[in-house]
Chains A and B, each alone.
Chain A
Amino acid sequence: MISRVNYPIWSITSWLIALALMAPVAVMVFSGLTANSDTLTHLWQTVLPHYVVNTLLLALYVVVLVILFGVPTAAIVSLTNLKTRNVLRWALLLPLAMPAYVIAYLYTDLFDYAGPIQRQLRALFSWQSPNDYWFFDLRTLTGAAVMIALVLFPYVYMLVRTAFEHQDPQLIKAGKSLGLSDKQCFLRISLPLARPAIAVSASLVLMETLADFATVQYFAVNTLTTAVYDTWLEYGELSTANAIASLLMIMVLLSVAAEYRARAHQRHQLSASKEPLTMIILTPIQQIIGNIYCWLLVLAGFIFPFVLLLDMTIQYLDSTEFEQLIQAGMNSLKVSIYAATIASILALFLVLYRRLSGVKRSEVPLLLSGYGYAIPGTVLAMALLATFGPLDHWINDLAVWLNLSKPGLVLSGSLFAVIFALITRFSAIANGTITSGITKIPQSLDIAPESLGVGKLHTVLKVHLPLLKSSFIVAWLLVFVEAMKELPAVLVLRPFNFDTLSTQVYQMISDERLEQGAIGALFIVLFGLLPIIVLNKKEKIH
């Protein structure tokens, strides 16, 4: 048996981090246990079944769509000789930079009955009323699913593409030698082998979807998230809201766990591929179709909304209050940098603990710390207030007892709460990225340095950290961008006079005047491009 790290401090710290990140989740669930059953009954008898169905449908549609968008594009880019694949490789990541609520607003504006497209059509065909013609209604469940899928599919694309690229090319050859065509090889070998990647990325998307509020609200689609907000804000029952949110989270975790179990017996060894994959050669018609499919997604998910934003920005440049904008931008940077840095360092810590301790339970802190991802931001914010509020009271009581001046709400009333919320929310992303980085480090490297007389801690510093550098940077950037986009948690928890780009943009959107917030949205998008540039660069080096 290989000797393993056994630093009690490391293990205790890991558990403490996990518990801290878990605390709001636990508070939410416990609060949910005291829910008023009358309200739940009333909701169940009236709207809740509908919300549940909507939620399931939305989740289903989004997952199906992101798979439809993400997997074929990943396959086309990694397995075929498509002409523009070198550009598409990174272009397909661009939609990641676009917040769903912005794209939702832009497209609704465009395709609404009152929007320019339908206006033009009516003018062209002299239709008078909506009864004269049929036009798709974007403000529907399907519309919301499409909007969310358009900006989230790059997660699937990114992970599945990597999976395809790391597949052992010999498996495909084996398939061919057994008489399978390119298509059959793809369907029966490449695709099943990419299943873990598809599952993991789809579950990320699933959690993002269920936590989304701004988009579904804007689209007037009532989901369980709506129910959470309604019970809390309208019925004034936070604990019932927490109960529903807990149910929502449990649903997500169960589905993720079920998928994980289903493939638990399959061990997929990634081979460091020795030879390049043989490309599937496309016929000219397939070239055209492939290009159209991929580019349509890039166009719809990024280029088009980006141009619209740019256009609005230029139009309203005169009325832009730059001072406010810069302030909000700085604030966004502040909280995002903090959140990204801390979340990545914590993830590094937890991942290394799990890897080097080798005991089975060391996986638990890593798992626990990722639960926050499945909780809608505002619910999380409420849970945080419930967690830190009492702590703050104790701190103040203690200060009074010690005859010191009261420090005030140092935890729940400061940026600490905002940053903590962002970390809780996005730890899962950092954990996932760094975990996938560490699995690429051969296990033998954990012990090889010891044979050279180098201590464990030194090994971590000299071997693991340098090898994890690029995963760390990617994790940092992904959390950074998500934090830039995150809205509801920041909205409730922020201190006085504190606006971020996303709260500014959201306020404009909820007032149906995105035009004037376009420049803020543009900045969010531009910051969102950073990780894509870095991801692309990183690949080129390899």
Chain B
Amino acid sequence: MSDILTINQLSVSLQKNTILADINLSLTSGEILGLVGPSGCGKTTLLNTIAGFNQLNSGSIIIDKLCINNTNPVPAEKRNVGVIFQDYALFPHLTVWQNIAFGLSKETKEEQKLRIEKLLILLGLMPQAQKFPHQLSGGQQQRVAIARSLAVRPKILLLDEPFSNIDARLRNGLMIELRHLLKSLNISAIFVTHNKDEVFSFADKIALMHHGKIIQAGTPREVFDHPNCWQVADFLQIGSWLPVNVREKQVSTVLGDFTVEDLILNNGEHFVLLVKPQYISLIPGNANSVVKHISFTEHGYHYLLSSIDSSDPLAFEDLSFYSQSLLSLEQEVRLQLIPHSYQLFAHQTHSFST
């Protein structure tokens, strides 16, 4: 399958601040990429740069053979990239029909009508065709925005936090609906989100950004199973962090010790162990942890625990753990690591909040 989008060594600076540095990314036709990362990591700038709202400083963007670089800064309107904005940016002075027809000026009236009707039917907007944006619900507005973008047959669709304004109850349904739609039309899409759950249910591929760089990209499964650095694991909330002490291949923690084979140690580096909830078990014996928070979820009780001895240099906090058995607050229990393929990450600071 050929790439519809290739980004090579892209850098962008705005007002002399480097926002994006050395971005490499590719997308095949029909593929959906979820772009995640903390606020200010450059996700929106990357979208804007692909769409053509920002100038790039170096590197190139190739959209279906159209090469955009410093010497050939193709303006936004010539890129054939659709954008769905966070608040949809529907034209308030135009009806749903006129909004969808907005980008269609090259086509004949007849063609326009056919295409708009098809989109209206596809997106279930037919009854709303003559309404104005302010008369629509959030979900309907989003569908109009999508229809408007699709009407001009974009090569790629960029979506900036498309679900953030949607009622949580409807969100899942809409995501599935939109995914089906994009897949059926074979349109590639990049969408930006804060929410890892959205990525896992919507994207084929995930790219995680941090400080203007893509630090990991791959399928959601790959990234979830093998985060390549602590920021990825931390942002995706894959598990909790357990401080460790490493001597040679011997790793000790409050919850037990183990050995690792393939660890390369650099001087002065601190390590933390990523502990997914399923790798912790409750065992009888001397208590080492205390229950700090209890919540009920569909997976059973969810507990956050801390070490009893907070003065221990390896003391941990807010360790996440699911169990079907009911514990009480401040109850002291003994936890143990279940042996698995341990994931240790280098980390510069000691405090990390999730």
Residues of A within 8 A of B (CB): 168, 170-171, 173-181, 184-185, 188-189, 192-193, 195, 265-269, 271, 278
Given contacts A176-B52, A179-B80, contact A170 B93 (CB under 8 A): no
Contact B92 A267, beta carbon cutoff 8 Å: yes
A-B contact pairs, 11 of them (CB 8 A): A173-B48, A174-B91, A175-B77, A176-B51, A176-B52, A177-B79, A178-B103, A178-B151, A193-B92, A266-B92, A269-B134
Q: A179-B80, A181-B77 are in contact. Are A173 and B85 (CB under 8 A)?
A: yes
Q: Does B82 contact A (CB under 8 A)?
A: yes
CA distance A195 to B93 in the complex (A): 10
Interface contact B53-A179, CB-CB below 8 Å: no
Residues of chain B within 8 A (CB-CB) of A171 are 89, 91
Contact of B132 (CB < 8 Å), options: A173, A176, A267: A267
Query: Which residue on B lies nearest to A171, using beta carbons?
Result: B89
CA distance A248 to B137 in the complex (A): 44
A178 near B148 with CB under 8 A, answer: yes
Q: Main SS of the interface on chain B? A: loop
Q: Is B307's CB within 8 Å of the partner chain A?
A: no
Q: How far is the CB of B327 from chain A (nearest CB, A)?
A: 38
Q: Which residue of the partner chain, among A170, A181, A185, A193, contacts B87 with CB atoms under 8 Å?
A: A170
Shortest Cβ distance from residue B163 to the other chain A in the assembled complex, whole angstroms? 17
B313 / chain A contacts, CB cutoff of 8 Å? none
Report yes or no: A173 in contact with B76, Cβ–Cβ below 8 A.
yes
Interface residues of B in 85-121 (CB under 8 A from A): 85-87, 89-94, 102-103
Q: Which 9 A-B residue pairs are closest in the complex by CB-CB distance? A: A178-B103, A176-B76, A170-B89, A177-B83, A174-B89, A267-B134, A170-B85, A176-B77, A192-B93
Would you call B132 and A178 a contact (CB within 8 A)? no
B289 within 8 A of A: no
In angstroms, Cα B78 to Cα A176, docked, is 8
Bound-state CA distance A269–B80 (Å) is: 28
- B149 at interface by CB-CB < 8 Å: yes
Residues of B contacting A181 in the complex (Cβ-Cβ under 8 angstroms): 75, 77
Whether B203 is near chain A, meaning CB under 8 Å from some CB there, is no
Please measure, in the bound complex, the distance between the C-alpha atom of A266 and the C-alpha atom of B133, giving whole angstroms: 9
Chain A contacts of B190 at CB under 8 A? none
Q: Is the CB of A179 within 8 A of B77?
A: yes
CA distance A429 to B77 in the complex (A): 41
Closest to B76 in A: A176
Residues in B lying within 8 Å of A, measured CB to CB: 48, 51-53, 75-83, 85-87, 89-94, 102-103, 132, 134, 148-149, 151-152, 154, 158
Which residues of chain B come closer than 8 Å to A278, judged between CB atoms? 53
- Total of A-B residue pairs, C-beta within 8 Å: 80
Select the residue from B89, B93, B132 with max chain A CB neighbours within 10 A: B93
In the complex, what residues of A have CB within 8 A of residue B102's CB? 175, 178, 188
Chain A residues with Cβ under 8 A from B93's Cβ? 192-193, 195, 266, 268
Measured CB to CB, the closest approach of chain A to B155, in angstroms, equals 11
Contact B149 A269 (CB under 8 A): no
How many angstroms between the C-alpha atoms of A170 and B148 in the bound complex?
A: 14
A274 CB to closest chain B CB, in angstroms?
10
CA distance A175 to B53 in the complex (A): 11
Contact of A178 among B48, B75, B152, B158 (CB under 8 A): B152
Instruction: State the CA gap A184–B104 with chains docked (Å).
Output: 12
| A168 to B88 CA separation, bound complex (whole angstroms) | 11
Which of B91, B132, B154 is within 8 Å of A265, CB to CB?
Answer: B132
Beyond the given A168-B89, A177-B81, A180-B77, please list 6 additional residue pairs across the A-B interface where CB-CB is below 8 A: A173-B53, A173-B85, A178-B102, A179-B77, A265-B132, A269-B134
Q: Which of A168, A174, A188 has the most CB of B within 10 A?
A: A174
Q: In the bound complex, what is the Cα–Cα distance between A344 and B77 (angstroms)? A: 47
CB distance from A282 to the nearest CB of B (A): 14
Q: How far is it, in angstroms, between the C-alpha of A399 and the C-alpha of B330 when the chains are bound?
A: 88
Q: Which residues of A contact B82 (CB under 8 A)?
A: 177-178
A176 contacts B53, C-beta separation under 8 Å: yes
Closest Cβ of chain B to A278, distance in Å, is: 7
- Which residues of the other chain, A, contact B80 by a CB distance below 8 angstroms? 179
Out of B103, B148, B151, which one reaches A180, CB within 8 Å? B103
Q: Please tell me if the beta carbons of B83 and A173 are within 8 angstroms of each other in the complex.
A: yes
Closest beta carbon of chain B to A493's beta carbon, Å: 44
Q: Which residues of B contact A174 (CB under 8 A)?
A: 83, 85, 89-91, 148
CB-defined contacts of B51 to chain A, threshold 8 Å: 173, 176-177
CB distance from B60 to the nearest CB of A (A): 20
Shortest distance between the CB of B141 and any CB in chain A (Å)? 12
Chain A residues with Cβ below 8 Å from B76 are 173, 176-177
Given that A173-B85, A265-B132, A269-B134 are contacting pairs, would A178 and B149 also be in contact in the complex, using a CB cutoff of 8 Å? Answer: yes
Given the complex of chains A and B, what is the CA–CA distance between A195 and B90 in angstroms? 17
Q: How far is the CA of A278 from the CA of B82 in the complex (A)?
A: 18
> Whole-angstrom distance between the alpha carbons of A181 and B80 in the complex?
12
Closest residue on chain B to residue A178 by CB atoms: B103
> In the complex, what residues of B have CB within 8 A of residue A193's CB?
91-93
**In whole angstroms, what is the CA distance A188 to B85 when docked?**
19
Closest to B145 in A: A174
Interface centre among B53, B78, B86, B134 (most CB of A within 10 A): B53
Interchain CA distance A174-B52 in the complex, whole Å: 11
A459 to chain B, nearest CB (A): 28
Closest CB in chain A relative to B333 CB, distance in Å = 43
Given A170-B87, A265-B132, A266-B132, A177 contacting B149 (CB threshold 8 A): yes
For the complex, what is the distance from the CA of A188 to the CA of B91, rounded to whole Å?
Answer: 10
Which residues of chain B are within 8 angstroms of A177 by Cβ–Cβ distance? 51, 76-77, 79, 81-83, 149, 154, 158
Pick the contact of A269 from B78, B92, B152 — CB < 8 Å?
A: B92
Q: How far is the CA of A68 from the CA of B252 in the complex (A)?
A: 78
B79: nearest residue on chain A (CB-CB)? A177
Residues of B contacting A176 in the complex (Cβ-Cβ under 8 angstroms): 51-53, 75-77
Could you tell me the distance between the alpha carbons of A463 and B51 in the complex, rounded to whole angstroms? 42
* Closest Cβ neighbor of B134 among chain A residues: A267
Q: A171 CA to B92 CA in the complex, in Å?
A: 9
Q: Which chain A residues lie closer than 8 Å to B78 at the CB level?
A: 179
Determine the distance from Cα of A225 to Cα of B94 in the docked complex, in whole angstroms.
40
In the bound complex, residues from chain B placing their C-beta under 8 Å from that of A175 are 77, 102
> Chain B contacts of A195 at CB under 8 A?
93
* Chain B: minimal CB distance from A510 (Å): 47
Determine the distance from Cα of A177 to Cα of B80 in the docked complex, in whole angstroms: 7
A179 touches B103 (CB 8 A): yes
State in angstroms the CA–CA spacing of A84 and B48 once bound together: 29
Give B164 Cβ to nearest chain A Cβ, in Å: 14
Provide the bound-state CA to CA distance between A175 and B77, in Å: 8
CB distance from B113 to the nearest CB of A (A): 18
A386 to chain B, nearest CB (A): 45
Bound: A238/B178 CA distance, A? 71
Q: Which residues of B contact A271 (CB under 8 A)?
A: 87
Distance in Å: Cβ of A423 to nearest Cβ of chain B: 36
- Interface-centre pick from A181, A266, A268 (highest chain B CB count, 10 A): A266
Give the Cβ gap from A445 to chain B, nearest Cβ, in Å: 21
By beta carbon, the residue of chain B nearest A266 is B93
CA distance A189 to B93 in the complex (A): 9
Return the chain A residue nearest B78 by Cβ.
A179
Expressed in whole angstroms, the Cα–Cα distance for A268 and B148 within the complex equals 19
The residue among B75, B82, B102 with the most chain A CB atoms within 10 A of its own CB is B102
Min CB–CB distance A212 → chain B (angstroms): 32
* Chain B residues within an 8 Å CB radius of A267: 92, 132, 134
Q: Is A268 a contact partner of B81 (Cβ separation < 8 A)? A: no
Cα distance A269–B93 in the bound complex, in angstroms: 10
User: Which chain A residues lie closer than 8 Å to B103 at the CB level?
Assistant: 178-180
Nearest CB in chain A to that of B148: its residue: A178
Cα distance, A168 to B89, chains bound together (Å):
8
Hey, which chain A residues are within 8 Å of B149, CB to CB?
Answer: 177-178
**B86 neighbours in A (Cβ, 8 Å):** 170
